[in-house]
Amino acid sequence: MQKVVMIGAGNLATQLSLALHEHGIEILQVYSKTVESAKALAGKLDCSFTISVKKIEKNADLYVFAVSDKALPSVLDEILVPIGNVVHTAGSLPADIFENYAENYGVFYPLQTFSKERKVEFSNIPICIESNSMKLRTDLIELAGQISKSVHLINSEQRKQLHLAAVFTCNFTNHMYSIGQKLLAEKDVDYELLKPLILETAQKALQLDPVSAQTGPAVRFDEEIMNSHEKALKHSPVFQKLYRFVSESIYKMHKGK
């Protein structure tokens, strides 16, 4: 599995193809809808690019579809000739979305948050593998093992749940950081002050069980502080409602323990 075509040039496609490239796997070609993205990524990989589905190379060992869930079906529909081994990198799409398009298909899902401007160390990233073909499954495990030491066979149902858990753990968490930053800006306090807390909260969850490690007014059910916080949020009704709602959820989870 030495020649890969990367379909997509977004955050995940960029970081994944750079990691593969660094480990000696040849990215034959990059496809993207937009010239800018295709060109930018192909430049980093020193390979060719195309913005026409019809011009996608036919002789690759693996086609990695790293486009948004919305875009995937339309790209597939444009590919008229049957292609070889195909995988997608999506958390919530089943593997058999490829059923009518390829004989051997699967999933290569790196569980991480990717931004174009931040390089991530792939070696710790869990890569979740699934395939309808035993041969492709073995090849994917080997490929994943070249860039990460955390490779897992995960079925579509489990992967979907992982994606859902990741939305809470990553996207929602990041939104909490954004709210914290916004609140501090209102009172002219530097966001820098929150950074050691952000890091320690994460590091703590790697060492302790997060349910037992929970601190703060909600788990103590300190109504006085919670009421005073809600009052302080009266000019931000969305954050106020969110404050009450997450606090209640914390309290319920701990009462249920």
Task: Give residues 31-60 in contact with a second copy (rule: CB under 8 A).
Answer: none
195 counts as binding a second copy under rule CB under 8 A: yes
- Interface residue with a second copy, options 48, 132, 133, 214 (CB under 8 A): 214
Q: Is the dihedral of CA 109, 34, 3, 43 positive or negative?
A: negative
Which residues, other chains included, contact 62 with Cβ-Cβ below 8 Å and sequence gap of 6+? Answer: 1, 3, 4, 5, 84, 85, 86, 87, 139, 143
Which residue lies nearer to a second copy by CB, 132 or 169? 169
Which residue lies nearer to a second copy by CB, 35 or 193? 193
| H or E element in which residue 74 lies | helix 72-78
Given a contact cutoff of 8 angstroms between Cβ atoms, the answer to whether 86 and 1 are in contact is no
- Interface residue with a second copy, options 100, 188, 234, 235 (CB under 8 A): 188
For residue 144, give both structure tokens.
């994943």
173 counts as binding a second copy under rule CB under 8 A: yes
Bridge partners of 36, per DSSP, are none
Given a contact cutoff of 8 angstroms between Cβ atoms, the answer to whether 104 and 135 are in contact is yes
- Interface residue with a second copy, options 168, 234, 235, 255 (CB under 8 A): 168
- Interface residue with a second copy, options 11, 48, 50, 146 (CB under 8 A): 11
Which residues, other chains included, contact 102 with Cβ-Cβ below 8 Å and sequence gap of 6+? Answer: 82, 83, 84, 85, 86
Given a contact cutoff of 8 angstroms between Cβ atoms, the answer to whether 47 and 27 are in contact is yes
Number of H helices and number of E strands within the chain?
A: 11, 8
- Interface residue with a second copy, options 35, 55, 58, 68 (CB under 8 A): 68
175 counts as binding a second copy under rule CB under 8 A: yes
Which residue lies nearer to a second copy by CB, 81 or 168? 168
Which residue lies nearer to a second copy by CB, 138 or 155? 155
74 counts as binding a second copy under rule CB under 8 A: no
Q: Near a second copy by CB under 8 A, which window of 27-35, 48-56, 100-108, 175-183?
A: 175-183
Measured from the CB of residue 244, what is the shortest distance to a second copy in angstroms?
10
96 counts as binding a second copy under rule CB under 8 A: no
The residue to which tokens 């309808």 are assigned = 132
Q: Which of residues 115-144 bind a second copy (CB under 8 A)?
A: 115, 117-118, 120, 124-126
